Structure 1
């Protein structure tokens, strides 16, 4: 059995969402893949194909894992926690084990939800494998439990966007799916995700630094106005300008970097618009492509030592 799950990108509202303001996220077609194969006995084998790492685990030991022990299995921790929580949530007492082969097209630790994508893929694989089909609500709930257990605190943004797909508006750790004209508009948009540089700080550090900015609420209110305008537009040029406006507001939160700004400037000049996406401090930029200038855009980006991913929304 093979399960494919998307990644996610935040279009608008980074950091503001932490304070109860809105964010808009979309599922995108940078996918992770989880293959599950039956194994006799009580053994679980996890193969992280991209990292060329593998490890065996006893099924009984997985039930007893807790946050203090996950760090011993750093690269495997999200998979292990997803297995444990799915088995417990579904009340599965297996009498045979399995092998998971995991691979991903998603760059890690750059705001695209790579860990959440593998988490959701693992939850779906385990529940289907043991014939305990789950609906989206239960899958997203388990995903949230996994992220909370690993990280100590969590947002629903990544796990819900990857589970429900499409476009989500997130506020106060609740979401609603956005349908209609805005969805139709985004389906016709072509985006590039540009992995500019390794993040210099963890998300928690960046969130703590933003917390110290005195006028942050004024900035968040301006970001919310951008979201209001964006949800009403069906014009790529206008939408791109709103992306650029959101980026300039994020710069006031001191979460951008010179290289991110440089990539955003290229995206604004040769695309319809661009902004950093995610917590900042490095990571990725999202660019709305102007197909008339796409070759020139790619030529300029390729001078910058970046990784470029073409993506579209996943429904």
Structure 2
């Protein structure tokens, strides 16, 4: 069995969403892949293909795992192990046989695209389907959120819910609604580039704490929320790109951008319709709305900057 799971970008509203304002997130076709095969033993074998790492565990031990006590050399396995544990326990499965799971991903790690959430959601879907007890989306999303919270200590629903439900989500106060209709059709017509610019120097929690110390942050958040309101009514690429850039300028005021991120945003503004950082910032990725008439020039300029470029579209 093969399960392919998207990643996500935040189009508007990162950091503001932590304080109850709106964010708009979108599932994209940079994917992780879970392959799962039956083995006639009561154990699981995990293979992280991209990292060339493997692990074998007794199934009974998996159901009682304490993720916080994992050895450091097992830290790369913590999301999939926690997802396996929580899925088996939620479904109350006492399996007669185990499985071999191979995990691979096209998603850059720890840069705001939800790589851990993608693997978490994919693992939950794969394990539940493998034991012939497939879960509904709301169950997958809630389990995924609990996994991220258990591993990270605290979590937002943004990554796991966007990756589970796909398409476009509006997030507010840790609740969501799926956006359909004309806005969804507009975004389907858009082409985006994800540009992995640089390794993040701080974790999301550190960046959130940094923003918390900014005195006029609420004024900035209200301006970001106004951008969200305008963006949801937009059906014009030039206007949408302008709003992305405007959002980025406000994120700069929150001190979560970097000189290199700003440089890539500037290239996106000149050769695309607009650009902004996506995620917590402090490094990581930029999303650019492509102007197809200038796409070759855009890619040529980006290639001068020692960055990784990913073409992407919305994934339903």
Instruction: Name the TM tier (shorter chain).
Output: over 0.9
| Rounded Cα–Cα distance in structure 1 between residues aligned with 2:65 and 2:214 | 38
* Counterpart contact for 2:15–2:208, Cα < 8 Å: yes
Deviations 1:207-249 (A, max 9, x none): 0000000000000000000001100010000000000000000
Deviations 1:107-132 (A, max 9, x none): 00000000000000000000000011
2:102 alignment partner in structure 1: 101
Question: TM-score when scaled to structure 2?
Answer: 0.99
Residue 305 in 1 paired to residue 314 in 2?
no
| Rounded Cα–Cα distance in structure 2 between residues aligned with 1:28 and 1:119 | 16
SS in structure 2 opposite 1:295? helix
Q: Which runs of 5+ in 1 are unaligned?
A: none
Please identify runs of 4+ aligned residues in structure 1 that moved more than 6 A. none
SS in structure 2 opposite 1:232? coil
1:217 alignment partner in structure 2: 218
2:39 alignment partner in structure 1: 39
* Counterpart contact for 2:23–2:171, Cα < 8 Å: yes
SS in structure 2 opposite 1:272? strand
| Rounded Cα–Cα distance in structure 1 between residues aligned with 2:192 and 2:309 | 10
2:51 alignment partner in structure 1: 51
Residue 64 in 1 paired to residue 49 in 2?
no
* Counterpart contact for 1:48–1:102, Cα < 8 Å: yes
Cα pair distance change 1:71/1:215, threshold 3 Å? farther
Structure 1 residue 69: Cα displacement? 1.6
| Rounded Cα–Cα distance in structure 1 between residues aligned with 2:204 and 2:163 | 19
* Counterpart contact for 2:83–2:124, Cα < 8 Å: yes
| Rounded Cα–Cα distance in structure 2 between residues aligned with 1:3 and 1:302 | 32
SS in structure 1 opposite 2:256? coil
* Counterpart contact for 2:29–2:314, Cα < 8 Å: yes
RMSD of aligned Cα (Å): 0.6
| Rounded Cα–Cα distance in structure 2 between residues aligned with 1:17 and 1:61 | 38
* Counterpart contact for 1:165–1:314, Cα < 8 Å: yes
* Counterpart contact for 1:274–1:288, Cα < 8 Å: yes
Structure 1 residue 67: Cα displacement? 3.3
* Counterpart contact for 1:71–1:77, Cα < 8 Å: no
Residue 279 in 1 paired to residue 292 in 2?
no
SS in structure 2 opposite 1:103? strand
1:23 alignment partner in structure 2: 23
| Rounded Cα–Cα distance in structure 2 between residues aligned with 1:130 and 1:74 | 26
| Rounded Cα–Cα distance in structure 2 between residues aligned with 1:22 and 1:39 | 46
Report the count of equivalent residues: 315
Question: TM-score when scaled to structure 1?
Answer: 0.99
2:9 alignment partner in structure 1: 9
